[in-house]
């Protein structure tokens, strides 16, 4: 695998390997010895020198072989998401959500799961580089002291600092402190992605309270800083539980499919040209004066949608909710805010609070465009770039890369020497978030102390340390900086005590004042936006969206995320120009045809993919592809959509042209067929019938069933709530040491994921009904795979697990042929990483790494079952429901997956399976699966 | 046993005991046209080298060099296995079943076809080993008491295969060798150089043509034939069960065992014709293998061809009759899906082509017959390809559908085994009497008596 | 006193040979041996005096034994290490039938071959009969009848004449 390059010899003893943490003792020694002996580049592993506070277990009780858990936070576009990280003898191996932290509630997303792999990325920067030559922090400090002297003479004139917008109190404090020191220095902020504040306010909502939700181009279920919280709340209104349901109704207006749109009861694909018309009509139908046009000149699809939406809103107000995508133009977001005002939802289902992230900070001199202008005016002689990668993510028309090269003195702090680092005089390695002391705030405003899990593997620094270094030219420890920030908060007397609790719980509960809701907004803000519906953008439109897996491209060198199937297309290792069929046929384009997509004087070259559910004339491109300096994994995957972006139209462009080049590029997907062919696989049920007893599909058997002894493990998957986010796939990969096989092997149909999310579409391709169906091993009681194995390498456990005995497998692959669910995966080659690759450090020591030529598949996380069993025996208590949770269950933001003991009638899974809709996939084959499904309930009102 | 004599003499009336010994044993003893033999063998040997390279690369890099994947986890290896096993069925069918049916004409070809059987089974046997993910552990399929108390999983058709194929190979070998004993004695007694006499002598085990030998020998031979008969039927039935036992639509069908047996004999006779026609030309054995032999084999092909055709029909009929949506889809997909070409090719080759054999003129026209035989060989390979690939590539869950494309290495190993098969046949012709002399003599004298 | 050498008579035509065998036996000779390139009808039975061949019995026993062994093995394997395989019962007898059948056939066939070797005394590469120059053709196109030296009537006169009279090409003494 490209990602698994063996380390260069120089990496064998990275700086810091020889440094022993304070409080060095036998355990430290064992760990260090073990780690460094085990793998190159790993010698730095270790609990950081500062006193960490483990989540559940005191460090003193660490027993080799028993994992320890620590609470910390991962920055999601700068916002905190609380996580709990599992470490084995000092090396982080797995990330889970922090149930106690409001933005996580115990769940995570695919990127968070995969971020553990980036920690061990062999291609991370290991030490400072000066003009591309290996250097040191000391050398940088020397040069900086000199430069700083000159700058301070002029109060920091012509000195620009570029960071990503942050929620970190400490980092912000350090930046302000720097600006105070250098009044003339300027602080710019850049994110290639959306800003979540508008008109000085940040909308936050409570979907659970809303009976009717209108989402305008908003993927609040998956692509939002609070998506985990939102999805959890939304799901509570979608599932049948305890034989009852209280479904809300979701209306979605969007140009391209999103996880939210896929959950909609009523979805209307609208192009940017039609959007304002439809919104205007909605406002008009509600008696609002919003926008011209009113119900006039709506197409009949739109008319019906507007009519029913308006009716529902009027009937259910104020228990309704309107949300707008953060990518939308201000006027659209104002329309939504005005609508919320009219419907009286403010304070009930939605509240506008002070922004948590620093985008709008008064001390900030503006965004990247402002910086670019300053640079072009020659007002930037010294530029420090912290974290961001503008040379790659800047809109094309800023011509930032060239301007950056023209800056006399520039320094880049980042995890990789990326496109930006390449163009700066200095590249200084930044620590991975699991190596960093910092603090972050969640979207809701609550803070989390970000404590490191491990000493930096390489000679790296955290952002706060770096800003302090720039300000004072002296090294400071992030630990002290963070404590400095928080010592102020709370009563300083009990600081140590509360500090300890904050770390322990992974949230700063008391001290941090939750962000206050703002008072009533000025009328200007809440007035209906005035827009001109008559002059739409010219079709076709290019819709820019962050890559579902790679975000703005920062995860490009993460092999797990590259190989994680993208929603709706199952595309891997690539991005594409997604067209609706009509548009493609209009240009005589077929899947895989390489086209030149042009907007004005900007153009990109990429393969075409036919997409379902797009509004007419809408071309979707994902940002984050086509990296040139990401590393061996990420370089050259797909095309770079930023090159099509202009500062004027960051998210939508009109008047695009498509030119067929004649070249063809094979797009690789893990799923190639998206129709159920009329088969009864993933079921839908209208809310009205959701409680009707299912038609039983129990088949008889000539054989008397095997006697059950003890536990009977089983799983239930609720299609009503599954949003198809693929977090389970990523979590399974992290938990079970599942290898990455690469683009070519996936093209040959050899992906290794143990759980997959099948996606089916039904009906009109322009606006189909769609359903996501996670498919792990069904653990059939009459398992067809077991019957045909000639060497009994796959057999049944007394607790009903369909076990795969790797050591016994000879690889006839007959079991895979005979598995009707095709969940078995085969090691066609030796997919393991090279023995000396640091990625082995991530591997779960409790899961076998499979060799070439053996079959493998979902085990229901048998290692977790046994761990739970052992823990229960150790404590001399019976296993409790919930003691054992599979990786896919634990990560799921919508609690769609429930696992447990069917022998216990009161277990959550047993109760789930008593729900009326419970059904087995392909039950007619009488395989008796232990994994069953609940149908997807939809509440369109039509059939209700 | 009294062979019921067909109206037309099946042998050249001019044959005598002496002629039989001389003409047949002269081929191995002093090879006529050595250049032709050498050229043929060299060609076959090249393919064997390719086979060695293909296998070396397979073991070095893993099964991934082939086209198999999920869902199509079986590909060329299994296709070729079934194809070779099928070919291997003509030999024992001819020597055993036709013996019991008193078909005197079998005498001219049984020795050769038995050899063909052995070599075909040898080629077939390679594939189940090669296609394992971890071939080094193939012996875990054999029943032996190991320290873990582990045994093969006897419910698996693959284990049945191990026993069926190895039994078939061993019984065929025994049958063949026992039949060879008197002829090895002839070779011993006709060979000039001492060392040849010694080699053949050892192989003949000291056969003297003693009446006591013949007494037990004939009993054994008939009973062996009696045993081999159900064996022939069972082996390909079990191969058919490899598929029928699975729950996969397109495999899970009770018609498979008989339909596979029919196909096996069909392809076997096609291969016999493909080999015998050049052979008899090359070594002037027309007096032993007459046009009438070819005619009769063609008739067997025609008959078994219809068995196969019925199999195809039955598959579609049951799918339609069962109203099973999965079965119906698989069959429709075969005919209209991405693998329609092999499917229609199979029908053309296995159902259409044999119909020419209704015409006596074509059965008697050697080149035409040869052509039909070749076409059927290809057709029967296609049949196995269609069964294996099209059933797997689109089964229950559309989300898991996939495509199969054979790789360069798939072809290398396949053609390699063809080379191995031919090389072994060349050795056989070069070293052993290709026609059962002793049985032939019995036939000659009987002919003499009636004529 | 040592027994006289046996007499080996060579015949050309199978029919004549068969007739000669009957005639010599009719004359009361008991210790006869016949050699032929193929089984001339009647000759073997004449020589064996209607004795039955043990072949069938041996093969039947061998087959049954190995068949029982096969099923026993499968049953034992299923129970000694009881595994839940696809929810099927431990002794899934229908699945055990194919192997039982195959091994029955194999056992019978192998027994048969060994029985042949036993009865025919194979392998025996050397034999006095081979010393006779004419005997090379016994495997090709000539038929030989031998009156052994230890035949009670051999000592008496007329053995050679009898053979010649029966149509022998040539008669010579052989150390049998």
Residue B246: its chain A contacts at CB < 8 A?
Answer: 784, 788, 814, 817-818
Residues A762 and A903 occupy one common structural domain? yes
- For the stretch A364-383, pLDDT in tens is 999 999 999 999 999 999 99
Residues A156 and A232 occupy one common structural domain? no
Whether A263 maps to a domain, the answer reads yes
Q: Give DSSP secondary structure letters for A883-942.
A: S---HHHHH-TT--EEEEETTSTTSHHHHHHTSTT-B-TTGGG----SEEEEPEEE--SS
Query: At which residue do the structure tokens 């061990």 appear?
Result: A120
Is B162's CB within 8 Å of A784's CB?
Answer: no
**In the structure encoding, which two tokens stand for residue C133, read together?**
């120059």
Whether A31 maps to a domain, the answer reads no
User: What local confidence, expressed as pLDDT, does residue A3 receive?
Assistant: 40
- For the stretch A858-887, pLDDT in tens is 999 999 999 999 999 999 999 999 999 999
- The percent of residues in chain A predicted with pLDDT above 90, rounded, is 76
Q: For C88, which of A703, A780, A797 is closest by C-beta distance?
A: A703
Is B153's CB within 8 Å of A791's CB?
Answer: yes
Q: Does B208 touch chain C (CB under 8 A)?
A: yes
Split at pLDDT 50, 70, 90, the class of A13 is very low
The pairing of beta strand A794-796 with beta strand A769-775: unpaired
Mean pLDDT score, B416-432:
95
- The percent of residues in chain B predicted with pLDDT above 90, rounded, is 76
* Chain C neighbors (3+ CB pairs < 8 Å): A, B
Whether A82 maps to a domain, the answer reads yes
Q: For B74, which of A745, A813, A825 is closest by C-beta distance?
A: A813
* CA A353-A359-A362 angle, 5° bins: 90
CA distance A781 to chain C (A): 6
Q: Does A812 touch chain B (CB under 8 A)?
A: yes
**pLDDT value at A58 more than 80:** no
Highest mean pLDDT among A295-304, A658-667, C46-55: A658-667
Q: Which of A751, A749, A769 is nearest to A761 (CA)?
A: A769
Residues 229-248 of B with CB under 8 A from A: 245-248
Q: What range does the domain containing A408 cover?
A: 50-197+356-487
Mean pLDDT score, A773-793:
96
- For the stretch B182-207, pLDDT in tens is 999 999 999 989 999 999 999 999 99
The number of C-alpha atoms within 13 Å of B170 and in the hemisphere containing its C-beta is 18
Is A792's CB within 8 Å of C89's CB?
Answer: no
Final residue in a domain of this structure, among A319, A354, A389: A354
Q: Which of B247, B250, B401, B407 to mutate to test the interface with A (most CBs of A within 10 A)?
A: B247
User: What local confidence, expressed as pLDDT, does residue A50 receive?
Assistant: 60
Question: Do the beta carbons of residue A727 and residue A755 sit within 8 Å?
Answer: no
Mean pLDDT score, C118-141:
88
Residue A674: its chain B contacts at CB < 8 A?
Answer: 398-399
Cα separations in angstroms, A331 against A346, A369, A520, A528, A532: 18, 21, 19, 9, 11
Residues A244 and A295 occupy one common structural domain? yes
Whether A609 maps to a domain, the answer reads yes
Q: Does A782 touch chain C (CB under 8 A)?
A: yes
* CA B273-B274-B275 angle, 5° bins: 90
Split at pLDDT 50, 70, 90, the class of A32 is very low
CA distance C38 to chain B (A): 5
Global pTM? 0.91
* CA A666-A668-A672 angle, 5° bins: 110
Residues 6+ positions from B104 with CB-CB distance below 8 Å: B3, B4, B5, B6, B10, B443
Q: Does A500 touch chain B (CB under 8 A)?
A: no
Final residue in a domain of this structure, among A322, A354, A386: A354
Highest mean pLDDT among A18-22, A694-698, B307-311: B307-311
* Chain A neighbors (3+ CB pairs < 8 Å): B, C
Whether A409 maps to a domain, the answer reads yes
Split at pLDDT 50, 70, 90, the class of A696 is low
Residues A215 and A345 occupy one common structural domain? yes
How many domains does chain A divide into? 4
User: What local confidence, expressed as pLDDT, does residue A739 receive?
Assistant: 96
Question: Do the beta carbons of residue A694 and residue A916 sit within 8 Å?
Answer: yes
**pLDDT value at A291 more than 60:** no
C-alpha span between A389 and A553 (Å, rounded):
9
Residues A337 and A235 occupy one common structural domain? yes
- The percent of residues in chain A predicted with pLDDT above 70, rounded, is 89
Residues A173 and A294 occupy one common structural domain? no
Least confident stretch, A649-663, A824-838, C161-175: C161-175
Q: Does B323 touch chain A (CB under 8 A)?
A: no
**pLDDT value at A573 more than 80:** yes
Is B241's CB within 8 Å of C98's CB?
Answer: yes
User: What local confidence, expressed as pLDDT, does residue A244 receive?
Assistant: 86
Is A782's CB within 8 Å of C86's CB?
Answer: yes
Is A796's CB within 8 Å of C88's CB?
Answer: no
User: What local confidence, expressed as pLDDT, does residue B440 receive?
Assistant: 87
Is C86's CB within 8 Å of A786's CB?
Answer: yes
CA distance B406 to chain A (A): 11
Q: Does C86 touch chain A (CB under 8 A)?
A: yes
- For the stretch A879-916, pLDDT in tens is 999 999 999 999 999 999 999 999 999 999 999 999 98
Whether A924 maps to a domain, the answer reads yes
Residues A243 and A333 occupy one common structural domain? yes
Whether A602 maps to a domain, the answer reads yes
User: What local confidence, expressed as pLDDT, does residue C27 receive?
Assistant: 87
Mean pLDDT score, C79-96:
92
Is C86's CB within 8 Å of A705's CB?
Answer: no
Q: Does A824 touch chain B (CB under 8 A)?
A: yes
**pLDDT value at A405 more than 70:** yes
Residue pairs spanning A and B at CB distance below 8 A:
161
Mean pLDDT score, A209-229:
96
Conformational region of residue A133, where left means phi above 0, alpha means psi within -120 to 50, and beta covers everything else = beta
Residues A410 and A339 occupy one common structural domain? no
CA distance B244 to chain C (A): 13
- The Cβ of residue B328 has, within 10 Å, a number of other Cβ atoms equal to 15
User: What local confidence, expressed as pLDDT, does residue B388 receive?
Assistant: 96
User: What local confidence, expressed as pLDDT, does residue A633 receive?
Assistant: 93
Residue A928: its chain C contacts at CB < 8 A?
Answer: 87
Q: For B246, which of A760, A773, A817 is closest by C-beta distance?
A: A817
The pairing of beta strand A602-611 with beta strand A577-580: parallel
User: What local confidence, expressed as pLDDT, does residue B19 receive?
Assistant: 86
At A324, is the secondary structure helix, strand, or coil? strand
Split at pLDDT 50, 70, 90, the class of A717 is very high
- For the stretch A644-673, pLDDT in tens is 999 988 999 999 999 999 999 999 999 999
**pLDDT value at A571 more than 70:** yes
Residues A132 and A228 occupy one common structural domain? no
Which residue of chain C has the CA closest to B17? C141
Residues A217 and A150 occupy one common structural domain? no
CATH code assigned at A637: 2.40.40.20
User: What local confidence, expressed as pLDDT, does residue A205 receive?
Assistant: 94
Residues A67 and A122 occupy one common structural domain? yes
CA distance B433 to chain C (A): 13
User: What local confidence, expressed as pLDDT, does residue A801 receive?
Assistant: 95
User: What local confidence, expressed as pLDDT, does residue A708 receive?
Assistant: 80
Cα separations in angstroms, B345 against A187, A881, B376: 72, 59, 10
Which residue of chain A has the CA closest to B160? A790
**pLDDT value at A490 more than 50:** yes
Mean pLDDT score, A276-289:
84
The residue extents of the domains of chain C are: 6-52+128-174, 55-120
Final residue in a domain of this structure, among A309, A333, A354: A354
**pLDDT value at B1 more than 90:** no
**pLDDT value at C157 more than 80:** no
* Chain B neighbors (3+ CB pairs < 8 Å): A, C
Q: Which of A860, A883, A880 is nearest to A931 (CA)?
A: A860
User: What local confidence, expressed as pLDDT, does residue A38 receive?
Assistant: 40
Residue B247: its chain A contacts at CB < 8 A?
Answer: 784, 818, 820, 925
Q: Which of A700, A705, A780, A796 to mutate to test the interface with C (most CBs of C within 10 A)?
A: A796
Q: Does A782 touch chain B (CB under 8 A)?
A: no
Mean pLDDT score, A122-144:
94
Which residue of chain A has the CA closest to C90? A706
Q: For C92, which of B155, B178, B186 is closest by C-beta distance?
A: B155
**pLDDT value at A45 more than 80:** no
User: What local confidence, expressed as pLDDT, does residue A53 receive?
Assistant: 59
User: What local confidence, expressed as pLDDT, does residue B285 receive?
Assistant: 86
Mean pLDDT score, A605-625:
95
CA distance B222 to chain C (A): 10
Is B156's CB within 8 Å of A676's CB?
Answer: no
- Bridge partners of A774, per DSSP, are A757
Q: Which of B158, B400, B401, B403 to mutate to test the interface with A (most CBs of A within 10 A)?
A: B400
Residues 405-444 of B with CB under 8 A from A: none
Is B154's CB within 8 Å of C140's CB?
Answer: no
Question: Do the beta carbons of residue B237 and residue B160 sit within 8 Å?
Answer: no
- For the stretch A466-476, pLDDT in tens is 999 999 988 89
CA distance A808 to chain C (A): 14
Split at pLDDT 50, 70, 90, the class of A30 is very low
- For the stretch B133-176, pLDDT in tens is 999 999 999 999 888 889 999 999 999 999 999 999 999 999 99
User: What local confidence, expressed as pLDDT, does residue A5 receive?
Assistant: 40
C-alpha span between A452 and B64 (Å, rounded):
41
> Based on the number of CB atoms within 10 Å of its own CB, is A710 exposed (0-12), middle (13-18) or buried (19 or more)?
exposed
Q: Which of C32, C33, C67, C98 to mutate to test the interface with B (most CBs of B within 10 A)?
A: C98
Whether A32 maps to a domain, the answer reads no
- For the stretch B212-252, pLDDT in tens is 999 999 999 999 999 998 999 999 999 999 999 999 999 99
Q: For C74, which of B154, B223, B449 is closest by C-beta distance?
A: B154
CA distance C162 to chain B (A): 20
Q: Which of A568, A703, A795, A822 to mutate to test the interface with B (most CBs of B within 10 A)?
A: A822
User: What local confidence, expressed as pLDDT, does residue A16 receive?
Assistant: 40
**pLDDT value at A4 more than 60:** no
- For the stretch B77-132, pLDDT in tens is 999 999 999 999 888 888 888 888 888 888 888 899 999 999 999 999 999 999 99
CA distance C90 to chain B (A): 10
Residues A186 and A132 occupy one common structural domain? yes
Q: For A826, which of B133, B140, B162 is closest by C-beta distance?
A: B133
Phi, psi at residue A212, to the nearest 5°? -130, 130
């Amino acid at each position: 695998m490209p990602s698994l390059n063996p380390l260069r010899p120089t990496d064998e003893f990275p700086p810091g390997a020889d440094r022993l943490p304070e409080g060095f003792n036998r355990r430290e020694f064992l760990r260090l010895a073990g780690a460094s002996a085990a793998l190159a580049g790993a010698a730095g592993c270790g609990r950081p020198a500062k006193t960490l506070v483990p989540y559940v277990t005191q460090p003193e009780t660490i027993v080799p072989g028993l994992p320890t858990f620590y609470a910390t936070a991962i920055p999601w576009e700068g916002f905190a998401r609380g996580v709990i990280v599992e470490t084995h003898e000092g090396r982080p191996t797995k990330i889970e959500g922090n149930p106690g932290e409001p933005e996580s509630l115990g769940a995570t997303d695919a990127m968070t799961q995969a971020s553990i792999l980036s920690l061990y990325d062999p291609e991370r920067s290991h030490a400072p580089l000066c003009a591309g030559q290996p250097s040191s922090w000391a050398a940088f400090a020397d040069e900086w002291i000199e430069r700083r002297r000159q700058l301070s003479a002029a109060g920091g004139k012509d000195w620009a600092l570029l960071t990503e917008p942050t929620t970190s109190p400490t980092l912000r404090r350090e930046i302000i402190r720097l600006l105070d020191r250098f009044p003339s220095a300027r602080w710019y902020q850049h994110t290639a992605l959306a800003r979540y504040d508008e008109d000085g306010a940040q909308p936050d909502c409570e979907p659970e309270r809303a009976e009717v939700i209108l989402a305008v181009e908003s993927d609040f279920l998956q692509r939002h800083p609070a998506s985990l919280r939102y999805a959890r709340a939304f799901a509570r209104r979608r599932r049948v539980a305890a034989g009852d349901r209280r479904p809300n109704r979701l209306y979605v207006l969007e140009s391209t499919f999103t996880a939210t749109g896929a959950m909609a009861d009523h979805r209307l694909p609208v192009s940017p040209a039609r959007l304002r018309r439809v919104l205007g009509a909605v406002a008009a139908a509600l008696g609002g004066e919003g926008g011209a046009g009113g119900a006039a000149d709506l197409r009949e699809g739109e008319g019906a949608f507007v009519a029913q939406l308006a009716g529902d809103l009027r009937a259910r107000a104020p228990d309704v909710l309107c949300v707008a995508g953060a990518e939308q133009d201000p006027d659209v977001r104002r329309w939504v805010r005005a609508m919320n005002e009219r419907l009286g939802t403010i304070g009930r289902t939605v509240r506008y609070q002070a922004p948590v992230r620093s985008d709008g900070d008064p001390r900030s001199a503006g965004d990247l465009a402002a910086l670019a202008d300053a640079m072009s005016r020659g007002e930037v002689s010294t530029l420090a770039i912290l974290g961001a990668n503008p040379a790659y993510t800047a809109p094309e028309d800023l011509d930032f890369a060239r301007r950056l090269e023209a800056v006399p003195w520039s320094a880049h702090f980042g995890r990789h020497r990326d496109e930006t680092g390449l163009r700066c005089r200095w590249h200084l390695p930044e620590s991975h978030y699991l190596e960093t002391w910092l603090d972050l705030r969640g979207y809701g405003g609550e803070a989390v102390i970000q404590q490191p899990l491990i000493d930096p593997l390489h000679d790296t620094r955290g952002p706060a340390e770096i800003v302090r270094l720039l300000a004072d030219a002296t090294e400071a420890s992030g630990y002290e900086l963070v404590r400095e920030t928080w010592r102020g908060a709370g009563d300083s007397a009990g600081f140590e005590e509360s500090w300890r609790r904050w770390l322990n719980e992974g949230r700063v509960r008391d001290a941090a004042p939750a962000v206050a809701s703002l008072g009533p907004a000025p009328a200007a803000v809440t007035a209906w936006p005035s827009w001109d519906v008559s002059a739409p953008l010219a079709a076709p439109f290019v819709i820019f969206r962050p890559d579902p897996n790679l975000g703005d491209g920062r995860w490009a060198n993460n092999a797990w995320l590259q190989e994680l199937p993208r929603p709706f297309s199952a595309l891997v290792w690539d991005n594409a120009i997604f067209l609706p069929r009509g548009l493609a046929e209009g240009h005589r384009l077929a899947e895989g045809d390489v086209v030149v997509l042009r907007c004005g004087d900007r153009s990109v070259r990429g393969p075409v993919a036919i997409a379902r559910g797009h509004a007419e004339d809408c071309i979707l491109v994902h940002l984050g592809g086509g990296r040139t300096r990401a590393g061996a994994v990420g370089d050259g995957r797909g095309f770079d959509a930023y090159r099509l972006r202009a500062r004027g139209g960051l998210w939508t462009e009109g008047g695009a042209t498509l030119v067929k080049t004649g070249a063809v590029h094979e797009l690789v997907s893990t799923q190639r067929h998206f129709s159920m062919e009329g088969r009864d696989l993933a079921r839908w049920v209208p809310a009205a019938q959701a409680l009707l007893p299912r038609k039983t599909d129990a088949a008889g058997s000539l054989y008397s069933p095997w006697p059950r002894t003890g536990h009977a493990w089983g799983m239930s998957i609720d299609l009503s709530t599954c949003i198809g986010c693929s977090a389970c796939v990523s979590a399974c990969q992290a938990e079970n040491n599942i290898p990455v096989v690469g683009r070519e092997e996936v093209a040959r149909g050899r992906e290794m994921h143990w759980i997959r999310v099948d996606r089916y579409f039904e009906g009109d391709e322009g606006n189909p009904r769609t359903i996501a169906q996670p498919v792990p091993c069904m653990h059939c009681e009459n398992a067809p795979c077991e019957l045909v194995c000639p060497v009994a390498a796959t057999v049944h456990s007394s607790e009903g697990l369909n076990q795969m005995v790797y050591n016994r497998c000879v690889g006839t692959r007959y079991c895979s042929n005979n598995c009707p669910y095709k969940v078995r995966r085969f090691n066609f080659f030796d997919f393991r990483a090279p023995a000396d690759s640091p990625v082995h450090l991530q591997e779960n020591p409790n899961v076998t790494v499979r060799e070439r030529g053996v079959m493998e598949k979902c085990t229901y996380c048998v290692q977790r079952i046994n761990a739970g069993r052992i823990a229960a025996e150790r404590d001399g208590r019976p296993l409790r429901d919930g003691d054992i949770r599979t990786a896919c269950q634990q990560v799921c933001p919508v609690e769609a997956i429930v696992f447990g003991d069917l022998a216990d009638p009161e277990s959550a899974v047993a109760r789930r399976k008593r729900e009326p809709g419970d059904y087995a996939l392909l039950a007619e084959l009488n395989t008796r699966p232990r994994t069953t499904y609940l149908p997807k309930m939809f509440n369109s009102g039509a059939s209700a | 046993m009294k062979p019921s004599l067909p109206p037309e003499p099946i042998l050249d009336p001019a044959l005598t005991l002496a002629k039989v010994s001389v003409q047949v044993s002269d081929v191995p003893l002093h090879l006529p046209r050595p250049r032709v033999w050498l050229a043929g063998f060299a060609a076959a040997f090249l393919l064997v080298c390719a086979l060695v390279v293909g296998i070396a690369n397979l073991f070095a890099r893993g099964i991934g060099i082939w086209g198999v994947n999920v869902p199509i986890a079986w590909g060329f290896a299994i296709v070729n296995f079934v194809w070779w096993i099928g070919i291997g069925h003509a030999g024992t069918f001819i020597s055993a079943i036709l013996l019991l049916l008193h078909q005197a004409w079998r005498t001219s070809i049984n020795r050769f076809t038995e050899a063909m059987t052995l070599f075909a089974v040898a080629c077939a046997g390679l594939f189940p080993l090669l296609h394992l993910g971890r071939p080094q552990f193939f012996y875990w399929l054999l029943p032996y008491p190991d320290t873990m108390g582990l045994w093969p999983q006897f419910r698996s058709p693959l284990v049945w295969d191990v026993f069926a194929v190895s039994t078939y190979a061993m019984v065929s070998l025994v049958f063949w060798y026992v039949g060879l004993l008197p002829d090895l004695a002839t070779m011993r007694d006709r060979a000039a150089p001492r060392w040849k006499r010694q080699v053949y002598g050892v192989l003949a085990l000291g056969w003297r043509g003693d009446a006591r030998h013949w007494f037990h020998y004939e009993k054994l031979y008939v009973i062996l034939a009696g045993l081999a008969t159900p064996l022939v039927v069972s082996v390909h039935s079990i191969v058919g069960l490899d598929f029928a036992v699975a729950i996969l639509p397109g495999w899970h069908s009770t018609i498979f065992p008989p339909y596979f047996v029919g196909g096996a004999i069909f392809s076997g006779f096609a291969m016999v014709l493909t080999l015998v026609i050049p052979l008899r030309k090359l070594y002037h054995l027309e007096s032993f293998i007459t046009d009438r032999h070819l005619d009769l084999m063609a008739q067997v092909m025609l008959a078994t061809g219809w068995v196969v055709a019925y199999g195809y029909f039955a598959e579609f009929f049951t799918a339609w009759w069962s109203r099973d949506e999965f079965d119906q889809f698989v069959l429709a997909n075969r005919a209209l899906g991405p693998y329609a070409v092999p499917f229609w090719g199979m029908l053309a080759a296995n159902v259409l082509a044999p119909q020419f054999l209704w015409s006596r003129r074509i059965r008697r026209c050697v080149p035409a017959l040869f052509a039909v035989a070749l076409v059927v060989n290809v057709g029967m390979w296609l049949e196995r390809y269609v069964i294996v690939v099209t059933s797997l590539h689109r089964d229950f869950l559309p989300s898991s559908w996939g495509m199969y494309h054979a790789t360069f290495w798939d072809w290398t190993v396949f053609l390699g085994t063809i080379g191995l098969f031919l090389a072994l046949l060349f050795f056989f012709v070069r070293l052993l009497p290709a026609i059962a002399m002793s049985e032939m003599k019995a036939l000659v004298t009987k002919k003499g008596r009636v004529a | 006193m040592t027994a006289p050498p046996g007499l080996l008579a060579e015949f050309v035509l199978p029919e004549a040979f068969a007739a000669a065998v009957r005639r010599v036996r009719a004359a009361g000779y008991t210790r006869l041996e016949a050699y032929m390139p193929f089984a001339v009808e009647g000759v073997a039975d004449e020589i064996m005096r209607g004795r039955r061949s043990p072949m069938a019995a041996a093969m039947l026993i061998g087959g049954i034994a190995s068949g029982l062994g096969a099923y026993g093995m499968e049953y034992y394997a299923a129970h000694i290490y009881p595994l839940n395989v696809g929810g099927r019962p431990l002794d899934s007898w229908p699945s055990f039938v194919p192997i039982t059948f195959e091994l029955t056939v194999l056992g019978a066939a192998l027994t048969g071959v060994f029985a042949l070797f036993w009865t025919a005394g194979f392998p025996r590469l050397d034999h006095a009969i081979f010393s006779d120059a004419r005997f090379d053709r016994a495997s090709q196109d000539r038929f030989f009848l031998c009156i052994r030296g230890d035949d009670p009537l051999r000592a008496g006169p007329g053995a050679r004449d009898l053979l010649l009279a029966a149509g022998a090409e040539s008669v010579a003494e052989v150390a049998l």
